Amino acid sequence: MPRIVSVGTGVPEHAISQVETMEFAKQLFSGSVKDIERILNVFHNGEIEKRHFVKPLEWYRQNHSFSNKNDEFIHLAISLSIESIKNCLESSNLLRQISYEEIDAIIMINTTGMATPSLDARIMNKLPFSQNTKRIPVWGLGCAGGAAGLTRAYEYCRAFPDAKVIVVAVELCSLTFQKHDLSKSNIIGTSLFADGAAAALVVGDEVNRHEILANRIPAIIDTQSTLMKDSLDIMGWNIRDNGLYVVFSKDIPSIVKEWLKPEVEQLLIHNQLTISDISHFIAHPGGKKVLKAYEKALGFAPEKTALSLDILRKYGNMSSATVLFVLERFLQQEINHGDYGIIAALGPGFSSELLLVRWE
């Protein structure tokens, strides 16, 4: 069974409090949006305390073309990705540093900017990866991307059991901000989304884990990807001349309550398990309401989502990278041998990505 052996993260230097961001939104939208004071309650109710952005707040008051924002995305996403990769390969969870030449494949996840050649090629021109490292760029999975990247790494390591694969997720959600978009979705997105990068190292069965591992780690037992039919308008982007405009349905928490449990049960039944067997829930924190919907759907106590909520408070929703921030926190915990966990993330489509893991 492929195993997740380390995670590294990186965030931009501009740490902005939720109070500052709310005041920014109030000044920007108060003259144009009806009931702005009521809508701004989402900044209070989401329990986010601060977030990290690649630019100071004043930059977002100015007009920027789509091409300018995308150029900034490429430049800044590369530097943040490199930071997360270095932190992953030099993690304290490892007995020794993993060299770049040892990495067989890079799975590159992002949704908030576009680049051809893809980001992985640009990163390989700055870090000494082997020129034969496989490049697997994946675009458009949104918040589900981090979990989906782990699944692709699992599949790669099943096919090539001596492989070491690094999953890199980087999202600069702030660069998609549209200051002239007066929709409620845009204001909710402004209260929620943030910037960050994370990298996870997954290794196959034939890798000598005892040579590199210091702690218990999660083995990936099984995975499940699910697409809800006729749900394209629940989450995603509308791509227009000025860039990416957020699509964010208010019905997401209620959909999670009704839809998620049967999907989780299907994965568990396939592995002769039940929800009561799950000790740890590594959930992408899409928002406070989404975390509460997870709890209600699966019958979990708030303690099961506490680490996800803490990441949400300190970093906001960094789309695909966020679940890997949560996973990093789990790797820092002393978890009992044999404990089961589920890694879960939801994204555009509408879709779910689930991984069943067991600590060894």
Catalytic site positions:
143
Residue pair 109/320 in contact (Cβ under 8 Å)? The answer is: yes
Dihedral sign, Cα of residue 243, residue 313, residue 302, residue 215? positive
Q: Tokens standing for 314?
A: 């300190």
288 is written with which tokens?
């406070």
β-pairing verdict for 218-227 and 351-359: antiparallel
* Residue 42 Cα distances to 49, 51, 182, 233, angstroms: 12, 15, 15, 21
CA-CA distance, 232 to 184, in Å (whole number)? 18
Q: How far does Cα 159 stand from its chain's mean position?
A: 25
- Longest CA span, the chain: 62
Rounded to the nearest 5 degrees, what angle is found at the Cα of 107, between the Cα atoms of 99 and 66?
120
DSSP state of 229: T
Q: What is d(CA 120, CA 271) in angstroms, rounded to the nearest whole number?
A: 35
* Dihedral pair phi/psi, residue 306, rounded to 5°: -60, -45
Cα–Cα distance measured from residue 244 to residue 315, given in angstroms and rounded to the nearest whole number:
22
Cβ 109 vs Cβ 138: under 8 Å = yes
137 preceded by a cis bond (ω within 30 of 0): no
Phi, psi of 234 (to 5 degrees): -80, -40
Q: Is 194 left (phi over 0), alpha (psi -120 to 50) or beta?
A: beta
User: Strands across the sheet with 278-283, in order?
Assistant: 134-139, 105-110, 164-172, 195-203, 3-10, 218-227, 351-359, 340-347, 278-283
Residue 55 tokens, joined? 């630019």
